[in-house]
Amino acid sequence: MANQLLITKKDGAVLSVRVEDGKVAQIQAQPEDAGSLLGDIYVGKVRNIVKNINAAFVEYEQGKMGYLSLDAKVCPIHTDGVVSDGTRVLIGDEIIIQIEREAVKTKPPTLSGTLNFPGKYVVLIYGERTVSISSKIKDAERKQQLRGFLRNNIDGDYGFVARTNCKDASDEKILKEIAFLKQQLENIKKFGVHRAKFNCLYHAPDAYLCDIRDSYDSLLESIITDDDEIFNRIMEFAKIYQPEDIKKIKRWDNADGKLDAVYDVTKTLEHALMPKVWLKNGGYLVIQPTEALVSIDVNTGKAISKKKDVQKTFLKVNLEAATQIAKQLRLRNLSGMILIDFIDMKDADYNKQLMDRLRTEFAKDPVKTILVDMTKLGLVEVTRKKVRKSLYEQIKDAQDYSKSDL
């Protein structure tokens, strides 16, 4: 069945819903009238340096602070209001920074002086004359070819990351995108250094447009929306950045029923915000995000009723739980440190089967997810890269933003 990206509005939020094999695999949300800060580039002012953590706190908008690690090899671009010599960061400096990670719970946004300009095929990275290839590209010959091709096109203080879509892209398409991204960087370097503090030099596209850009081209068959305004914005975006994808963009016909109802968007969203997830075999998960980590508890529930070999039952529940956990992490956009308390199993081979199942399922996630190990207490440690907020926080932000306009 076709893999699709649905974009719709609901309760003050724009939902970007990825459907794979007929089922909702991922939901992202942003306030309807407010874009995400992720990827935006500002002229910020350094307000404080904390030496014991080698970091700076930078005011990027009036009254809004972000965290900038000073461990990076690349020093941020200093503007005309420079205080230092431009090779280090000092209090009072005005520097060009990018929002690398949104604020999460009580933590401020993470900033970077290494500017990233993502495209469909490559990411241009200012300050690093290196080439990296997406781990999703498995063809060794193609990886070597891309590495050489991109190295030959570095003629400035920048490098590239070849994205998964590079796998099947022609050199002409990649070169055209590189030229566009290089122009974005040159504009920042040329004009940004003359702008005053707190100026936004570059607005990243809305999150749902980024979801279109970041989709795997060979897998995405259609982009569907039931909203005229969103349809027009997607078309404008595609004409400039991805003209080859215009044919995939479709306006939903309500004669086929409501988009929400046909794809069970509301029902899936409601379930994704609940802590308990039932498994088909009678067991269930309890998912609890906390300030420091995400805890997931696997319970037998009704699964052990009238079963003689409980260890085999435990294995069955754990294996189904492993598959469901990988789906829930992606659906809810849970990230950071994740601790999973599976049902204890005495058989070492059963535990190996469980860990193998987790590795297989995590490998399907577009976001980097690492299975660390199983502790002596039987807890499974997992890390998932943090980029956007969790789905719960995204929905809450949209609701709060909607209320603030009342």
User: Is the per-residue pLDDT at 81 higher than 60?
Assistant: no
Residue 135: closest CA among 374, 368, 403, 391: 368
Q: Identify the pLDDT of residue 403.
A: 64
Q: 3-state DSSP call for residue 170?
A: coil
* Beta-bridge partner residues of 46: 58
Lookup result for tokens 């190295």: 151
pTM: 0.86
Angle at 289 between CA 404 and CA 398, to 5 degrees: 20
Helix count and strand count (H, E) for the chain: 9, 22
Domains assigned to the chain: 1-36+206-269 (3.30.420), 273-384 (3.40.630)
Q: CA 116 to CA 140: how far, in whole Å?
A: 26
Strand-strand pairing, 336-341 and 294-299: parallel
State whether residue 72 is helix, strand or coil.
coil
CA triple 253-330-133, angle to 5 deg:
100
Q: Render pLDDT for 337-357 as a digit per residue (tens, 0 to 9).
A: 999 999 999 899 999 999 999
pLDDT in tens, 274-304: 999 999 989 999 999 988 899 999 998 876 6
**Is the CA virtual torsion 241, 204, 228, 255 positive or negative?**
positive
Q: Are 98 and 112 in contact (CB under 8 A)?
A: yes
Whether the per-residue pLDDT at 156 is higher than 80: the answer is yes
Report residue 102's pLDDT band, with 50, 70 and 90 as the boundaries: confident
**What are the CA-CA distances from residue 274 to residues 65, 257, 285 (Å)?**
32, 27, 11
Rounded Cα distance, 283 and 279, in Å: 5
Exposure of 200 by Cβ count < 10 A (0-12 exposed, 13-18 middle, 19+ buried)? middle
Q: Residue 77 has which token pair?
A: 């671009």
* Residue 209 pLDDT grade (very low, low, confident, very high; cuts 50, 70, 90): very high
Alpha helices, DSSP H only, in 220-258? 228-241
Nearest to 59 by CA among 11, 18, 106, 111: 111
Q: Answer whether residue 218 shows pLDDT above 90.
A: no
Measured between alpha carbons, how far is 248 from 223 in angstroms, rounded to an integer?
6
CA nearest neighbour of 317 among 328, 329, 305: 305
Q: How many CB atoms lie within 10 A of CB 353?
A: 16
Could you tell me how far CA 183 lies from the centroid of its own chain? 25
Per-residue pLDDT at 25: 94
Tokens 């904390």 -> residue: 50
The C-alpha angle with vertex 268 and arms to 267 and 271, in degrees rounded to 5, equals 85
In the block, tokens 């209320």 appear at: 403
Q: What is the tens place of the pLDDT at every residue in 380-397?
A: 999 999 878 899 988 888
CB 149 within 8 A of CB 120: no
Tell me the C-alpha distance between 250 and 203, whole Å: 26
CA–CA separation, 262 and 19 (whole Å): 12
CB-side neighbour CA atoms (13 Å) of 281: 21
pLDDT band at 378 (very low <50, low <70, confident <90, very high): confident
Give the mean pLDDT of 395-401: 78
Query: Is 325 buried (19+), middle (13-18) or exposed (0-12) by CB count in 10 A?
Result: buried
* Residue 203 DSSP label: P
- Rounded to whole angstroms, the Cα distance separating 135 from 76 reads 28
Give the amino acid at 354: L
Mean pLDDT across the stretch 195-219? 90
Inform me whether the pLDDT recorded for 1 exceeds 50. Answer: no
What lies within 8 Å, CB to CB, of 136 at 6+ separation is 164, 167, 216, 366
Residue 17 clears pLDDT 90, i.e. is over it = yes
> Is the pLDDT confidence value at 212 over 80?
yes
Burial annotation 132-142 (CB, 10 A radius, 16+ → b, else e) = bbbeebeeeee
pLDDT at 33: 75
